[in-house]
Structure formats: structure tokens, C-alpha cells
């Protein structure tokens, strides 16, 4: 019997819930069709929008915080592996082994403490903050259902009120067959019965309306007070959360910097006792095919005559080819018998026009042949000062005032300067010998295909300032041994 009773109650409850769902569905359909009005509260709807936004932001923050904690844990594992590697390679006879092991242990404990404090002060607080949202969300949904029940009860009561007026009109003027067929003494009872039945339905509808309104208003009042308070609390929660994370991270890095400083002191002590075995920087390997082609080309260029020298030996003094031709813009004086035989023909090794000199095809300063020196002395004694000055400027490799004149303090094609950071011992004849602090003037390769990766062509600034001879001073050097300074 008890089971029957419980089953009956359960069945009745299920039937009641089904009836409520049907009634709510019918009411929503009528509201969407516009056949029934809907109770709206714009202020509460704004609170619901803020609630949903706050829930979305909190869920994202919780996800990102868990990702951050996973990254901290991964960094802890990586740091632990690195310290284990240091302990394995640190040989027992090296000084500071015990200190290095102690630093590794403290490093591991510091990572563990940092991760645990993040969990306690940030993640658990975040979980507690988000734990209140599901209950409020379900109450908002329930409040929406109760609002539909309230509207349905209100519409039902209003329909009964409208039917009451119609029934009163029918009672005043009976038209039904039952009323017409009934005797006179029975018609009064029928009218009384109809009135009582109508009043009963109306009273039940009124009670249901009052009950539904009371339930809805209780839930609505609670949520109207709770939602704005929850929305305003987000500022303080965000401040506390990020302050905790920032403070924990600051303290962690302070303690970690102390451990790193101690480890650095241990390694410095080890380096002092084993200073002769310091690690040296190595250059990138060069390709042998390119190296051989460069050496062969350099050998051929050394055996060949100079580019500006057409004959292997200087001509004898007094010959027509011993002095260069110099042209002056003013009208020359008539030649005399003393100077007729000392005319100045054009030399094969001297350019004839200033445009060629400005183009950079002149020979290097200090490489004049004896004939050219004698010619310059003769020109200085027999020609005007402007001619001698022009001749001197031409021999030195530039024409004063020329628009295309190159800079004498830098080699042709200069690109930038680098400074050697380490000593480098040349292993081939075409390489530069570098010492830390040397400044090198970088120039392009004559053949770009010969340039190896990680190698540059240049001339040391000290050699260039002293000799001004690019062919003898230039060479290749490893780029990773230098640092660009200009």
C-alpha cells in the first residue's frame, strides 16, 4: 500500500509537471504570436546581460590562469632537468660542487613553492568566485519559468472575468433548452448552480494568480538585489587576483635572482682555477673549392704586372714616355729651342683626363715610377704653379674640387666598420690576423660568388691608414668574431 501511495504521488507529480510544461509552452506560443501580452522588466534584463558577460570573462580568466600554471609547471620541469645536467657534468674534483648541488635543490624548492602559492592564492580563489555562478544561473532560469506561470495565471483569470459577464447575461435571459424545458420551480436552482460554478472557477483562478505572483516576486526581488552586487564585486576580485599573481611572481624572481647570482659566483670561481682551458669562439668552416680558387687567383695576380703598368720595366730617362702629358686651359707660350726637345708626351701609365682620375682608375699613391718622379720635378721647374698643383693632385689619386672625387681615408667600396671581439689566428694566406679591439673596414668581395657564409672581406684600419694599399692589406675574416660599430 505504501508503494502504491508513493507511486501515486510520483505519478501525480509527473502529471502536474507535464501539465505545467504544456501550459508554459502554450503561453510562450501565444506571446510570440502576439495574442497574449508578456511581463517585461528592462532593468532586470540588463542585470542578466551583465551576469552573462561576467560569467564569460571569469571563465576565460580561469582558463588562462590554468594555462599559466601549466606553463609554470613546465618551466619547473625544464629547470629541474637543466640543474640535473649541471650536476652530472660537474666533476667531483671541481671546486664548488657542493654549492652547485645546494643551489639546484633550492631552485627546485623555489619552483614548487611558487606553483603551490599560485594554486592557493589565485586558482582556488578563482574557483570559489566562479562557484556561485551556476546557482544564480539556475535561479534566473527558474525566475523566467515562474514569470511565464504568472502571465498564464493572469491571462486565465482575465478570461474568467470576461466569461463571468457573459454568464450573467445568460442567467438574466435563459436561452438553453434545459432551462426552457425545466419547470418554473427548477429554473432558479439551475441559475444558482451556474453562478456557484462560475464563482468557484473564478476563485480558483484568482488563488492561482496570487500564488504565482507571490512566488515570482520573491525570486525577482532576491535576484534584483543579488545581481547588481555580484556585478560590482568583479572589480575587487580582479584587483586581488592580479595583485596576488604579481606579488608572487615578484618575490619568486627576487629569490631566483639570488640563486642565479650564487651559481654565477661558483662558476666564476671554477673559471679562475681552470682559466687556461677557457672556451674559444670558432669560425664557420670555409668551402675548399672557393678557397682554392681565391688562392689561385691571388697567385696569378701577384705574378701579373700591375694594372696601370703596361711595360714590365720603366723607360729610360729622357725618352718621350718618361713624362706624362699635362694640359692647361690657358694658351701655352711659344716653344723655345731649349724646351723643344723636352716636350711632355702622354705616358701609358697616366690617365689623360680628369674624369678618368675621378672615376678611381688612377694608380695608388707612392707607386710612381722613377720616370714619373723625374717628370714631376721637370714640370715643377718649367710650368706654372697651377699646372704643378694639378699634376700633384692627379698623381695622388684625386682632383681637388671634382664632383666624383673619392675619400682618401676610406678604401674603395667601404660599407661599414666592425671591431674584433676575440682574437683570430689566420689559417690561410688570404685571411686577416685579428686581435680583440682591432677595427676592420668591411669592403665587398670582388666576386660575390666567392663569399662563404659567415665570412666578410675587409682591411684593418691600422694597415689601411699606414699603407693605403688595398691589394696587400685586404683579406677575409669570420663575422662571428666581430661586432659592427659603424
Sketch out the chain's domains with CATH numbers: 41-273 (1.20.1270.60), 311-330+340-401 (no CATH), 416-484 (2.30.30.40)
Grid coordinates representing 307?
694594372
pLDDT, position 22: 76
**Residue 486: pLDDT band with limits 50, 70, 90:** confident
Q: How far apart are the C-alpha atoms of 271 and 278, rounded to whole Å?
A: 7
Query: Higher confidence at residue 95 or residue 349?
Result: 95
The pLDDT score that the predictor gives to residue 237 is 93
Beta strands in 353-454 (DSSP E): 416-420, 439-443
Report pLDDT digits (tens) over 164-181. 666 555 554 544 555 555
Q: Residue 394: what pLDDT?
A: 38
Task: Judge whether residue 375 has pLDDT over 80.
Answer: no
Per residue in 382-431, pLDDT (tens digit) is 444 433 343 343 334 443 333 333 455 889 889 999 999 988 988 888 89
Taking the model in full, what pTM does it have?
0.52
What lies within 8 Å, CB to CB, of 274 at 6+ separation is 94
Provide the pLDDT confidence category of residue 360 given band limits of 50, 70 and 90.
Answer: very low
**In the predicted structure, residue 277 carries a pLDDT above the cut 90:** no
Query: What is the four-CA torsion angle of 320, 326, 327, 330, rounded to 10 degrees?
Result: -110
Q: What integer pLDDT is reported at residue 20 of this predicted model?
A: 72
Residue 343, pLDDT > 80, answer: no
Tell me what pLDDT residue 144 has. Answer: 87
What 3-state class would DSSP assign to 59? Answer: helix
CA dist., res. 373 & res. 370, Å (int): 5
When comparing pLDDT for 186 and 257, which is higher? 257
**Highest mean pLDDT, choosing among 85-89, 304-308, 319-323, 324-328:** 85-89
Most confident of 132-136, 148-152, 387-391: 132-136
Average pLDDT on 424-448 reads 91
User: What does the H/E/C string look like for 7-30?
Assistant: HHHHHHHHHHHHHHHHHHHHHHHH
The average confidence (pLDDT) of the chain is 74
CB under 8 A, 24+ apart: contacts of 233-237: 234/54, 234/57, 234/58, 237/125, 237/129
Using CB atoms within 10 Å of the CB of residue 73, give its burial: 0 to 12 exposed, 13 to 18 middle, 19+ buried: middle
Q: How would residue 467 be classed by pLDDT, with cut points 50, 70 and 90?
A: confident
pLDDT, position 233: 92
Q: Quote the CA–CA distance of 329 and 336 in Å, as a whole number.
A: 20
Residue 132 CB contacts under 8 Å (≥ 6 apart), including other chains:
230
CA separation for the pair 455, 283 (Å, rounded): 8
Q: Which of the four pLDDT bands, split at 50, 70 and 90, describes residue 104? A: very high
Distances 153 to 143, 146, 200, 217, 333 between C-alpha atoms, Å? 15, 10, 15, 14, 131
Q: What is the mean pLDDT of residues 43-69?
A: 94
* Secondary-structure percent of the chain, ordered helix, strand, coil, rounded to 5: 65, 5, 30
**Rounded Cα gap, residues 342 and 320, in angstroms:** 8
Looking at residue 449, what is its pLDDT? Answer: 86
| Residue 456 confidence (pLDDT) | 93
Beta strands in 39-81 (DSSP E): none
Judged against a pLDDT cut of 80, whether residue 340 lies above it is answered with: no
Residue 17 or residue 343, greater confidence:
17
Instruction: Answer whether residue 112 shows pLDDT above 60.
Output: yes
Residue 226: the pLDDT is: 92
Task: Tell me which of 122-131, 261-270, 363-372 is least confident.
Answer: 363-372
Residue 470 pLDDT grade (very low, low, confident, very high; cuts 50, 70, 90): confident
241: cell is: 587576483
First vs last C-alpha separation in the chain = 102
Between residues 90 and 162, the one the model is more confident about: 90
pLDDT of residue 300: 57
Closest C-alpha among 473, 434, 422, 481 to residue 454: 481
Q: pLDDT band at 161, cuts 50/70/90?
A: confident
Q: Which residue has the cell 706654372?
A: 384
More confident residue, 13 or 172: 13
pLDDT at 44 over 60: yes
Amino acid at each position: 500500500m505504501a508503494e502504491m501511495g508513493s507511486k501515486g504521488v510520483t505519478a501525480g507529480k509527473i502529471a502536474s509537471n507535464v501539465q505545467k510544461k504544456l501550459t508554459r509552452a502554450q503561453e510562450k506560443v501565444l506571446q510570440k504570436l502576439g495574442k497574449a501580452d508578456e511581463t517585461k522588466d528592462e532593468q532586470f534584463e540588463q542585470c542578466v546581460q551583465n551576469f552573462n558577460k561576467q560569467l564569460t570573462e571569469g571563465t576565460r580568466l580561469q582558463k588562462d590562469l590554468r594555462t599559466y600554471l601549466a606553463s609554470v609547471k613546465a618551466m619547473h620541469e625544464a629547470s629541474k632537468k637543466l640543474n640535473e645536467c649541471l650536476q652530472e657534468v660537474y666533476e667531483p674534483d671541481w671546486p664548488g660542487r657542493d654549492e652547485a648541488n645546494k643551489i639546484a635543490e633550492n631552485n627546485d624548492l623555489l619552483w614548487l613553492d611558487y606553483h603551490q602559492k599560485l594554486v592557493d592564492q589565485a586558482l582556488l580563489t578563482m574557483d570559489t568566485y566562479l562557484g556561485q555562478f551556476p546557482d544564480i544561473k539556475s535561479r534566473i532560469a527558474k525566475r523566467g519559468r515562474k514569470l511565464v506561470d504568472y502571465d498564464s495565471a493572469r491571462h486565465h483569470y482575465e478570461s474568467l472575468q470576461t466569461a463571468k459577464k457573459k454568464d450573467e447575461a445568460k442567467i438574466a435571459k435563459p436561452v438553453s433548452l434545459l432551462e426552457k424545458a425545466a419547470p418554473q420551480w427548477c429554473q432558479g436552482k439551475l441559475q444558482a448552480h451556474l453562478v456557484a460554478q462560475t464563482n468557484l472557477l473564478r476563485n480558483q483562478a484568482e488563488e492561482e494568480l496570487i500564488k504565482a505572483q507571490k512566488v515570482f516576486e520573491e525570486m525577482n526581488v532576491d535576484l534584483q538585489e543579488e545581481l547588481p552586487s555580484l556585478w560590482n564585486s568583479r572589480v575587487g576580485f580582479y584587483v586581488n587576483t592580479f595583485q596576488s599573481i604579481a606579488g608572487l611572481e615578484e618575490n619568486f624572481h627576487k629569490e631566483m635572482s639570488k640563486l642565479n647570482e650564487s651559481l654565477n659566483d661558483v662558476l666564476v670561481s671554477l673559471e679562475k682555477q681552470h682559466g687556461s682551458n677557457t672556451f674559444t669562439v670558432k669560425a664557420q668552416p670555409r668551402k675548399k673549392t672557393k678557397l682554392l680558387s681565391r688562392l689561385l687567383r691571388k697567385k696569378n695576380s701577384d705574378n701579373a704586372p700591375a694594372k696601370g703598368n703596361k711595360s714590365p720595366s720603366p723607360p729610360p730617362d729622357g725618352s718621350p714616355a718618361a713624362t706624362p702629358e699635362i694640359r692647361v686651359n690657358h694658351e701655352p707660350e711659344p716653344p723655345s729651342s731649349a724646351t723643344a726637345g723636352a716636350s711632355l708626351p702622354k705616358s701609358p701609365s697616366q690617365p689623360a683626363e680628369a674624369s678618368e682620375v675621378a672615376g678611381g682608375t688612377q694608380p695608388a699613391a707612392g707607386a710612381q715610377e722613377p720616370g714619373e718622379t723625374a717628370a714631376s720635378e721637370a714640370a715643377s721647374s718649367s710650368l706654372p704653379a697651377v699646372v704643378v698643383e694639378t699634376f700633384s693632385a692627379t698623381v695622388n689619386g684625386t682632383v681637388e674640387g671634382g664632383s666624383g672625387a673619392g675619400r682618401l681615408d676610406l678604401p674603395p667600396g667601404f660599407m661599414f666598420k666592425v671591431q674584433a671581439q676575440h682574437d683570430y689566428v689566420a689559417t690561410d694566406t688570404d685571411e686577416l690576423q685579428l686581435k680583440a679591439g682591432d677595427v676592420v673596414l668591411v669592403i665587398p668581395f670582388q666576386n660575390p660568388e666567392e663569399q662563404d657564409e659567415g665570412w666578410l672581406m675587409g682591411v684593418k684600419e691600422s694597415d689601411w691608414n699606414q699603407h693605403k694599399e688595398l691589394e696587400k692589406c685586404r683579406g677575409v675574416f669570420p663575422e662571428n668574431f666581430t661586432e659592427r660599430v659603424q
